[in-house]
Chain A
Amino acid sequence: EDQVTQSPEALRLQEGESSSLNCSYTVSGLRGLFWYRQDPGKGPEFLFTLYSAGEEKEKERLKATLTKKESFLHITAPKPEDSATYLCASNTGNQFYFGTGTSLTVIP
């Protein structure tokens, strides 16, 4: 069964304390691994798409990487405004499978 699992469920970091979020997937026919940021009560905001193992993409303090079974979202020196829920999703052509997300809180 196609599945996406994220860990940890929640993460509290001090401002400046770097960490990583994990997304593991068991999906047949993967056609992209997506990362989104979601603020409370709002729709997800697109961050990255990764297509092949070994691929990396960066945006400000965020860096996403992809292996054959996992993706990581690395957050370097986070700031309070990075607090949000981070969702990963796999795409198999015409359907996205989302994980339940990691709720990140960055404390000043």
Chain B
Amino acid sequence: ETGVTQSPTHLIKTRGQQVTLRCSSQSGHNTVSWYQQALGQGPQFIFQYYREEENGRGNFPPRFSGLQFPNYSSELNVNALELDDSALYLCASSNTGKGDAEAFFGQGTRLTVV
């Protein structure tokens, strides 16, 4: 079992609302990445944080934003929720900003937008 924990595990929000998802990275890891996984699809890269700075971003609109804290934990914020934002949101941590180290995933947050 990895040391990456995400909260909450499940969440239901109404269209137009805002949501914050949280991730505690594995001990010793300084890089956190966030992914969106729709049902039956592979994870889609949202962005990555390395030592509190955004270090890469996928094809997601600005209403998806993030933070990384000095203890390397992280938040994903989504504003103006849309129905298509319903998905499993995954956080992964690794111990390098170069991105070629193995990433360990949390169990995910299942977000449902109604």
Contacts and interface: CB of A to CB of B under 8 A. Distances in A.
Interface of A: 4, 6, 31-32, 34, 36, 41-46, 49, 51, 87, 89, 91-101
A43 B105 contact: yes
A94 B108 contact: no
B33 A34 contact: no
Interface size class of B (residues with CB under 8 A): 20 to 34
B45 A96 contact: yes
A99 B40 CA distance: 11
B56 A43 contact: no
A92 B104 CA distance: 17
A31 B104 contact: no
B107 A43 contact: yes
Given A46-B103, A95-B48, A100-B41, 19 more contacts: A6-B42, A32-B100, A34-B102, A42-B107, A43-B105, A43-B106, A43-B108, A44-B43, A89-B43, A93-B100, A94-B50, A94-B97, A94-B99, A95-B56, A95-B99, A96-B33, A96-B35, A96-B103, A98-B44
